[in-house]
Structure 1
Amino acid sequence: MENTIRIRVSCDVFDDDLAAMVDGLREELDQLDVDDVRPLDAGPPPPGARGDWAADASGLAVIAEKSAAVLPAVVRTVRAWRLRARPRPTIRLEIGGDVLEISEGTDHQADRAMDLFVQRHSLQRHGGETARSEP
Structure 2
Amino acid sequence: MNKKIENALFGAWAIALTATAGSLYFSEIQNFIPCTLCWYQRIFMYPLVIILAIASVRKDPGQAVYTLSLSLAGGGIAIYHYMLEKIPALNNQAAACGTVPCNYEYVNYLGFITIPFMSMTSFLLISGLLIYIIKVSKE
* TM-score calculated relative to the size of structure 1: 0.35
* TM-score calculated relative to the size of structure 2: 0.34
Whose helix proportion is higher, 1 or 2?
Answer: 2
